[in-house]
Amino acid sequence: MLLRTEPRIRESEVTDKSLWLDRRRFLALGAAGAVAASAWPARSAPLAGLVKSPYRVDETPTSLKDVTHYNNFYEFGTDKSDPAQMAPSYFGKPPKPWMVTVSGECGKPGSVSYDDLIKPHALEERIYRLRCVEAWSMVIPWVGVPLAEVLKRFEPNSKAKYVEFTTLVDPDRFPGQRVAMLDWPYVEGLRLDEAMHPLALLAVGLYGEELLPQNGAPIRLVVPWKYGFKSIKSIVGIRFADKPVRTTWMKAGPREYGYYANVNPQVDHPRWSQASERRIGEFRRRETLPFNGYAEQVAGLYSGMDLAVNF
């Protein structure tokens, strides 16, 4: 494949000006987080009994350091380094028990602990591509359980057409939530058939170990054919709905962030091209693949849709 060199996208070109200016509000918080960062372990607790899934790309994984230190997680701040710096002193370890509330159009709603949600299922290691809407990408060895297996346990009824996910709201743990840069809590959603697709994963770890807070501990969504902002972190709510939710980034930038957010090199972001991407750890840019390289598996979900309109 021919690789072409293009100028690196500057972050100020990628993130809304109103958001990256708020970076100054985090400088004092960042100083406290940086002091504690040196004490933060490079790795977390190992996860036992992993099954190597056939869902794995044959590509070199991005380094653990980059995966855990180059993150978008605005609950900690708007800079890529903020999550790793802030997490040690503000988030620490996930509170236990971590509870997830399941509600809406289902036969078995209620609150369930992390252990009860995850432990009935075998943990799988899956190596997926991650493509950010900002035109950078990674390859990450996730650990998790199929989302479909978890959702089926709550018996979605005939009215359930969509699934809504919600992140924890806790300004003591997430200092970014002290600033109204986004409409907290962070909310994302999938069509039910997307959520039930075999590729959709509830991740609880990466590189064989528990998720660190900057990567969405203790539980996050991974939808590898969509831009990374769809893969919501630190989930505390799952709701089955008959209508699609207006997601956080749809509220923040309706012209820029659609409900589907499928990786599509033919549909540019209003402020930059999506035709190519910068793989973290590489110098040259590479072509972006439709559906992030998962077209064979997922394109059928969107048969007959205009993906330029339903972006």
Inter-CA distances, 6 with 1, 9, 62, 132, 145, Å: 16, 9, 21, 17, 37
**Which two structure tokens, joined as six digits, stand for 31?**
């100083």
The total number of residues shown for the chain amounts to 311
Distance CA(62)–CA(142), nearest Å, equals: 12
Tell whether 125 is covered by a domain: yes
Domain span at 17: 1-43
**Which two structure tokens, joined as six digits, stand for 148?**
């479909």
Question: Which residues pair with residue 210 across a beta bridge?
Answer: 205
pLDDT in tens, the chain (311 residues): 333 333 333 433 344 433 433 443 433 334 434 433 333 344 578 998 899 999 999 999 999 999 999 999 999 999 999 999 999 999 988 888 999 999 999 999 999 999 999 999 999 999 999 999 999 999 999 999 999 999 999 999 999 999 999 999 999 999 999 999 999 999 999 999 999 999 999 999 999 999 999 999 999 999 999 999 999 999 999 999 999 999 999 999 999 999 999 999 999 999 999 999 999 999 999 999 999 999 999 999 999 999 999 99
Question: Which residues pair with residue 139 across a beta bridge?
Answer: 129
Distance CA(172)–CA(29), nearest Å, equals: 12
Which pLDDT does position 94 carry in this prediction? 85
**Which two structure tokens, joined as six digits, stand for 189?**
């959603």
What radius of gyration do the chain's Cα atoms show?
18
Tell whether 307 is covered by a domain: no
Distance CA(210)–CA(26), nearest Å, equals: 27
**Which two structure tokens, joined as six digits, stand for 115?**
């252990």
Distance CA(221)–CA(199), nearest Å, equals: 11
Do both 182 and 267 map to the same domain?
A: yes
Do both 17 and 59 map to the same domain?
A: no
Do both 76 and 165 map to the same domain?
A: yes
Q: How many domains does the chain have?
A: 2
Do both 15 and 105 map to the same domain?
A: no
Could you give the residue ranges of the DSSP H alpha helices within 80-203?
A: 82-90, 114-118, 147-152, 192-195
Distance CA(84)–CA(69), nearest Å, equals: 5
- Whether omega before 185 lies within 30 degrees of 0, making that bond cis, reads yes
Tell whether 265 is covered by a domain: yes
Do both 53 and 2 map to the same domain?
A: no
Tell whether 309 is covered by a domain: no
Given a contact cutoff of 8 angstroms between Cβ atoms, the answer to whether 220 and 235 are in contact is yes
**Which two structure tokens, joined as six digits, stand for 268?**
């540019």
Do both 71 and 181 map to the same domain?
A: yes
Distance CA(149)–CA(52), nearest Å, equals: 17
Burial class (CB in 10 A: 0-12, 13-18, 19+), 284: exposed
Question: Which residues pair with residue 201 across a beta bridge?
Answer: 146, 222
Do both 80 and 27 map to the same domain?
A: no
Do both 128 and 275 map to the same domain?
A: yes
Tell whether 311 is covered by a domain: no
Do both 39 and 58 map to the same domain?
A: no
Do both 37 and 50 map to the same domain?
A: no
